[in-house]
Amino acid sequence: MRNEPKKKTSSILGYAIFFFTIASAVIVALYAYILSDRLSGGNRAVISVVMLAVIITLSLLCTLFDIVRRKIMIDRPVREILEATEKIAAGDFSVRLTAVHTYEKYDDYDLIKENLNVMAAELGKSEILKTDFVSNVSHELKTPLSIIQNYVSLIGKSGLDEETRQKYVKTVLSATKRLSDLVGNILKLNKLEHQELSIETENIRLDEMLAQAILSYEELIEEKELEILCDFEEVSIVSAPSYLEIVWNNLISNAIKFTNNGGKISVSVKSDGEKSIVKVSDTGCGISPETGAHIFDKFYQGDTSHAQEGNGLGLALVKKVIDVLGGEISVKSQQGKGSTFTIVLKGLR
């Protein structure tokens, strides 16, 4: 970390020079007054004129010095900063200003410049994020929309047997589900990022909530013949059920999605002092270290074979919720063997 710069040195020097110039003008004037008092006649008049000239010259010098000082130390950096802010206001976030002094001797203008640089860089980053987000959303919208378009036109054709028609209808339904999930997740993420979701807390039995979440996937679990192992302690917690629902649904749906038929999913909850710990493990495909580094990013999907299912927003939402609730989430995984997601929550009753 850098040390705080020693500010003000240069401005103190400027004020000192200004003060000494004025002081010398006043001293010379006083001296002239005393001297002229001792002299007589013509000499007195000459000295007075000379002293007057010296005083005027010194005052002029003083004014000149102040003009130059202002030009160099105030006008120049202010103009530079003004031009930079105009560029930023016009949407050019590539602007970078150079500090005049070394970091230790930064003055206020150098600090403003550095802050402006940081601001421009941050604005540039959020602009990139915004563009990425829009292109990701457009991409995610395009795929199911073209599926719907194609299949609806196929269904519209005559001579389709009932079985094929049912198959097409199922495909259209799954594409519309994907679309509505996408829109729902984007809305939730947006609300969470702007802190618009009111956190209404209440007493919750975590074990009951988890059991409910697992039950809602009963059909899928049966379809994939998955074995579900539950190790539940009775854990009561004061938290926001609407938020926690997002977490359990995403973790359980991921475990189901990324585990092959006949695999095993284990869910456990226990309390540990002030904390409650929930684990969701599976014997699925696992997560490589490269994928693991991005799983909480928006729209990131590591396992391309499941890219048709979902949009890569699930874990981004989970992470956001856990951050808002002040908890922790971690993942341990071995490729080909499975993954374990661990959530630690506070607020135990």
Ligand X SMILES: Nc1ncnc2c1ncn2[C@@H]1O[C@H](COP(=O)(O)OP(=O)(O)OP(=O)(O)O)[C@@H](O)[C@H]1O
Where on the chain is the footprint of ligand X (CB under 6 A)? Answer: 250, 254-255, 258, 282, 284-287, 291, 295, 300-303, 306, 310-316, 339
Cβ atoms of 235 and 207 within 8 Å: the answer is: yes
The 270-309 site mask, x for binding Mg ion (CB under 5 A), equals ----------------------------------------
> Cβ distance 69 to 13 under 8 Å?
no
Residue 204 β-bridge partners = 237
The minimum distance between CB 307 and Mg ion, in angstroms, equals 12
Q: State in angstroms the smallest separation of the CB of 251 from Mg ion.
A: 8
Which of ligand X, Mg ion, none does residue 239 bind to, with CB < 5 to 8 Å depending on kind? none
Q: Which does 112 bind (CB under 5 to 8 A by kind): Mg ion, ligand X, none?
A: none
327 binds, among Mg ion, ligand X, none (CB under 5 to 8 A by kind): none
* Nearest distance, CB of residue 81 and ligand X, angstroms: 42
Q: Pick between residue 113 and residue 319 the one whose CB is nearest to ligand X.
A: 319
State in angstroms the smallest separation of the CB of 177 from ligand X: 10
Identify what 312 binds: Mg ion, ligand X, none; CB under 5 to 8 Å per kind. Answer: ligand X
Closest CA to 339 of 232, 248, 265: 265
**Which of 78-86, 236-244, 265-273, 314-322 is the region at the interface with Mg ion (rule: CB under 5 A)?**
314-322
Q: Residue 314 CB, nearest distance to ligand X (Å)?
A: 2
Q: Which is nearer to Mg ion, 314 or 327 (CB)?
A: 314
Residue 254 lies near Mg ion (rule: CB under 5 A): yes
Query: CA 38 → CA 30, 50, 107, distances in Å?
Result: 13, 16, 49
5, 144, 314, 338: which one binds Mg ion (CB under 5 A): 314
Residue number with the shortest CB distance to Mg ion?
314
Which of 110, 282 has the CB closer to ligand X? 282
From the list Mg ion, ligand X, none, which binds 167 (C-beta under 5 to 8 Å, kind-based)?
Answer: none
Residues within the interface to Mg ion (CB under 5 A): 254, 310, 314
